[in-house]
Amino acid sequence: MDKMRLALSQIDVTVGDIDGNLKKILKYTKIARNSGVNIICFPELSITGYPPEDLLLKPSFIEENLNALDEVRKASHSITVIIGFADKKQDIYNAAAIIHNKKLIDVYHKCYLPNYGVFDENRYFQAGVDSPVYKLGDFKFGVNICEDIWYPGDPTRKQAILGDAQIILNISSSPYHATKVQARERMLKTRATDYSVVIGFCNLVGGQDELVFDGHSVVINERGEVMARAAGFEEELLVTDVNVQRVFPSRLHDPRRRKEKYAVMLESTDVHEFELNHRGFKSNSTPRIRSKIEDFLVLEEEVLKALITGTKDYVKKNRFKNVVIGLSGGIDSSLVAAVAVEALGKENVIGVSMPSRYSSPGSTIDTERISKNLGIELISIPIEQAFSAYLETLSKVLYGKKRDATEENIQARIRGNILMALSNKFGWLVLATGNKSETSVGYSTLYGDMAGGFSVIKDVPKTLVYRLAEFYNECKGKELIPRSVLTKPPTAELRPDQLDSDSLPPYNILDPILRAYVEEDLSIEEIIDKGFEEHVVKKVVKMVDVSEYKRRQSPPGIKITARAFGKDRRFPITNLYKQL
């Protein structure tokens, strides 16, 4: 056949929900078959969900995943299905099954196991070594998994050059962080042009704990041109007709390929070819499906969609319905409330105002405005009575001591207790509202404003919080987050006339220092060389280092930056290595 109809099934699965994942896989397989699709791809470990982590150490979990794979096989009549699962041989493998017309043709084992950042695959899997290709009619295709295509060279090189595959199908569960989408596609274009091969990249979508998967599945031709791109952060079946006959003429014009093929042949011949009987395929039985090319999102929209997706999936996949947020009238809690409404609907979001003796009239008004604008229920529970009782209870033991952060933190902990009481009584999930800037330097109260089940903007720097709030208002065409919230100086309002700038450098200075130290691992000297004052840099670095114990006790939050706290950045709490 001249054209091959390819479907990339960009689905949202849940770790451990093997039956639910299977139903979704069978549903999309049926839709693809009815659309005349020849090959349908599903993401990496889509049967188990990604990442399954220590569930992989349970033999019963592996067996259930294999049983589900067999159900996929039974449903694969007249179509080829490529699907990610956990394989069990003498060891456990991150694997792709190549199923054709109710037969398990082959199993591909992932060769490169990432063990950096949020990845921990060496803990669970054995690495594969083969580079198979598959013949379907008169064209060949190769299959590999996620990290395998990020490396220049094998297995993609062997499959495309020695195996003469015209298409490489890569199934992935590639987690999101800001700017990764475009970088990943540039890499895929490079692979396509380097080896004169069509690339079909099928990515996972949805949220899993602190990870969000952005989708953006894509088909790129042998010239590095995008033929089709799925939407970001949405489930989609991307169907594209690929002209496989164009690959051969393209290769004739590339003399590099001849030399490369000779070199690969000298290295090894471990490319195994499998022929699939293509009888019964219907590639021309339905009208041609137009390739779809979704535009990239601007950064603010990309991050906002990631936050909405991560919040929605965390709440729903963990069987919660309602969330509760402490609303202070500040920018952070306002943005979290907006994200929650977009993710869950206004009827499922409850705001709680907990004013103290230090709360300004403006903050109280802003709290009422944001709740009214978003259409959410607002409960008011003043904390003065509880705060006075605490001060009275501690008066003897604290007698003669100057007031400091102790009394400030009592207020934050009272508020945390109130939110957790509402959570216990009504089953509401508490959404914490701290941002990455605060989390980095410990400008938060343990068991106070850090309390909660999920921290929506935990990895969002304060300066980006403001940009997201502005963008949200622009999208809505009105100021749902009031202008007064966006313009007033940040403050915790735990003492008279308090401002964040009393304790921290301005956020437009703090955030670049944090990015350099936390995300880029630059030394103090290197950060100072960027133009920052020495005493400011040393102060920030010290605050980051001494706050590790706090971060270790914080709720999970959505990964947005290239290096988030938690799985991404793992530092010992007891740590005497100091740069100061």
Query: Could you give the residue numbers annotated as active site?
Result: 44, 110, 146
Q: Which of 116, 119, 145 is nearest to 132 (CA)?
A: 145
> Cα angle vertex 82, ends 260, 115, to 5°?
70
Cβ neighbors of 389 (< 8 A, separation 6 or more) are none
Residue 447 and residue 418 in contact, taking contact as beta carbons nearer than 8 Å? no
Q: Which of 545, 485, 519 is nearest to 360 (CA)?
A: 485
> Cα angle vertex 196, ends 195, 201, to 5°?
80
Residue 162 and residue 271 in contact, taking contact as beta carbons nearer than 8 Å? yes
Cβ neighbors of 39 (< 8 A, separation 6 or more) are 4, 5, 6, 7, 79, 80, 81, 82, 136, 141, 169
d(CA 227, CA 150): 20
Find the Cα–Cα–Cα–Cα dihedral 213, 219, 221, 222, rounded to 10°.
Answer: 50
Residue 323 and residue 348 in contact, taking contact as beta carbons nearer than 8 Å? yes
Q: Which of 43, 32, 29 is nearest to 208 (CA)?
A: 43
Q: Which of 442, 416, 13 is nearest to 211 (CA)?
A: 13
Q: Which helix (H) or strand (E) holds 167?
A: strand 167-172
d(CA 495, CA 121): 48
d(CA 173, CA 194): 23
d(CA 211, CA 194): 31
Cβ neighbors of 195 (< 8 A, separation 6 or more) are 156, 157, 160, 161, 168, 257
Beta bridge partners of 47: none
β-pairing, 198-203 with 167-172? parallel
Cβ neighbors of 338 (< 8 A, separation 6 or more) are 374, 469, 472, 480, 481
Question: Within a 10 A sphere around the Cβ of 380, how many other Cβ atoms?
Answer: 14
Residue 468 and residue 493 in contact, taking contact as beta carbons nearer than 8 Å? no
Sheet strand arrangement including 273-276: 226-229, 218-220, 198-203, 167-172, 139-145, 133-136, 273-276
